[in-house]
Amino acid sequence: MSKKMSIAALVLYVVYAVGMYFYIFHGPSGGVPATLKGTVADPETFMTERELYLSDDYSKIRNFLFFVITPFEWLVYLLILLTGISRIFEKWAETKWKLFKNGAYLFLLYLFTALIFYPIDIYRYQLSKEYGISTQDFSSWMRDYVIDFWVNFGTTLLLVLVLYWLIQKSAKKWWLYAWLLTIPFAIFMMYLQPVVIDPLYNEFTPLKDKQLEEKILKLANQADIPSEHVFEVNMSEKTNALNAYVTGIGDNSRIVLWDTTLNELTDEEILFIMAHEMGHYVEKHIYVGIASYLLSILVGLWLISKIMPWMVARFGKFLNIEKVGDIRSLPLFFVLVSFLLFISNPLSNYISRYQETRADEYAMELTGDAEAAVSTFQNLAKAGLSEVNPPWLVKIFRYTHPPMLERINTIARYTDNEEVETEKGNETE
C-alpha cells in the first residue's frame, strides 16, 4: 500500500507540474490594457526591447519554479515517510535522552532535505546570475548558503524540541501552549534580526551621504517618526536589484538603504521610497503584521492539532507513524505547515498589497512628487526585471506588493484627484 501511495503521489505531482507549465508558459498573460498603452505604466515606454524579453522570460521561469517547488517539498516529505526513511533516521538518532534523540533526528532530516534541494538552489542562483540580477560570486553565495543552513537549523531545532515536548506533555492542548510561547519568541526574533542575524550576511554602516541623511531625517520628522540614523548596506556585491526597508522594533529599529539604490536612484526617488517606508510606520503596519502573524499561527496550530491525529489514525500504518508524539512524525508536521502557508498566500498577500498601496498613497501625500514616484517604480521594475502585470494566479499567490502597473496607476489616480480638488478650490475662490 505504501508503494501504491508513493506512485500515486508522484503521478499527481507530475500532472500538477505539467498543468502549471502550460498555465505559466502558454496561458493568458497579464499584458498591458489597451487604455494604458503608451502611458508611463506601459513597460514599452521605459524598458528596452531586450529588457522586455528578459523580463518576460525570467518572470515565467521564476513563477513556474514557485508553483512547483513547494508541492515538491510536500512530495519529498511524504516519500520520506512512505519509504521508511523517517523511521531509519529515528533509529540512527536513538539515545536514552529524548531531547538529544529529537535533535539528532532533526539534523539528519534537515541535512537530507538540504542535499535534495541543493541542485534546485544552485539552479536558482545560476538563473539569477544569467539574467543579470545577481552579481554574487559562487564562494560568497556558498557562504550565505551555509549560514542560512545553520541559522534556520538552530531556529527550527529550538522550535521542534519545545513543540514535541509539549505534545508529549499535553496531547490535547499542546497547540495552545505552543502558540503562547510563539508570542515572546516572535517579538524577540524581530528585536534580534537587525543587530544579530542581518549582519551575518552583510555589512551595515551609517549612511555616508550626510546631506541625503539630513533630508531623510527631515522627512521622518515631518511624519513624526523618531529616528536618529539611516543605515546603508553593501548589496552591490550580491545583486543589481534595488531595495530599502525599515526593520526591527523598539531601540533596534532602523532605516536601511541598499547601496544599489543609492547608486542608481536620484535623491528625490530615494526620498519617495523612504516616505513609502514611513507610511508603513505611520499606518502601524508592523503591528498589524505582528497581530496577523500571531493569529495565523494560532489558527494553523489548531488546524494541525486536528488534522495530524486524524491522518496518523487513518494512514499511520503506511506513513510509518505510530503516534503524533513520535519524532518520526515531523515530516508530516512540516507538510501540513507548508501546505497551510501555501493556501493562505492569497489572503496574506491581499492584506500586504493593500498595506503597500496605502504606503504609496502616504508617500505621495508626504512628498507630492508624482514624477519621482513614477520613475522610482519604473527603475525598480527594470532593475528586478519585474512583470508589470502578472497573470491572476501568479498575482494572488506570489505578489506581496501590487504589480508595477497598479502602483503607477495609484500615483496617476492620486494626481488626478489632486487636480480635481485644486480646480474645485479655484472655482470656489
SS3 30: coil
pLDDT for the residue 192: 80
Q: Cβ of 363: how many Cβ atoms within 10 Å? A: 28
Q: Residues within the annotated binding site? A: 276, 280, 356
Tell me the average pLDDT across 20-39: 86
Residue 97 CA to residue 92 CA, distance in Å, equals 14
What residue spans define the domains of the chain? Answer: 2-202+283-428
pLDDT band at residue 428 using 50, 70 and 90 as cut-offs: very low
SS3 246: strand
**pTM, two decimal places:** 0.89
Tell me the average pLDDT across 275-301: 89
pLDDT for the residue 426: 46
Residue 356 CA to residue 405 CA, distance in Å, equals 14
Cross-strand pairs, 233: 204, 258
For residue 38, what are the contacts with CB-CB under 8 A and spacing of at least 6? 44, 45
Summarize pLDDT for 52-89 with one digit per residue, the tens: 999 999 999 999 999 999 999 999 999 999 999 999 99
SS3 238: coil
Tell me the average pLDDT across 199-222: 87
Candidates 259, 360, 369, 406; catalytic one? 360
277 a catalytic residue: yes
What the block records as the C-alpha cell of 259 is: 547601496
Whether residue 424 is predicted with pLDDT greater than 50 in this model: the reply is: no
Whether residue 99 is predicted with pLDDT greater than 80 in this model: the reply is: yes
pLDDT band at residue 421 using 50, 70 and 90 as cut-offs: very low
Nearest residue to 384 (alpha-carbon basis) of 87, 12, 54? 54
Candidates 90, 264, 277, 406; catalytic one? 277
Summarize pLDDT for 131-152 with one digit per residue, the tens: 999 999 999 999 999 999 999 9
What are φ and ψ of residue 149, in 5° steps?
Answer: -60, -50
Nearest residue to 371 (alpha-carbon basis) of 40, 38, 32? 40
Q: Residues within the annotated binding site for Zn(2+)? A: 276, 280, 356
What the block records as the C-alpha cell of 408 is: 503607477
Summarize pLDDT for 329-374 with one digit per residue, the tens: 999 999 999 999 999 999 999 999 999 999 999 999 888 888 999 9
pLDDT for the residue 313: 93
pLDDT averaged over every residue in the chain: 89
Exposed e or buried b per residue across 192-209, where buried means at least 16 C-beta atoms within 10 angstroms of its C-beta:
eebeeebeebeeeeebee
pLDDT for the residue 115: 96
148 a catalytic residue: no
pLDDT for the residue 415: 66
DSSP labels for 338-394? HHHHHHHHHHHHHHHHHHHHHHHHHHHHHH--HHHHHHHHHHHHHHHT--SS--HHH
pLDDT for the residue 340: 96
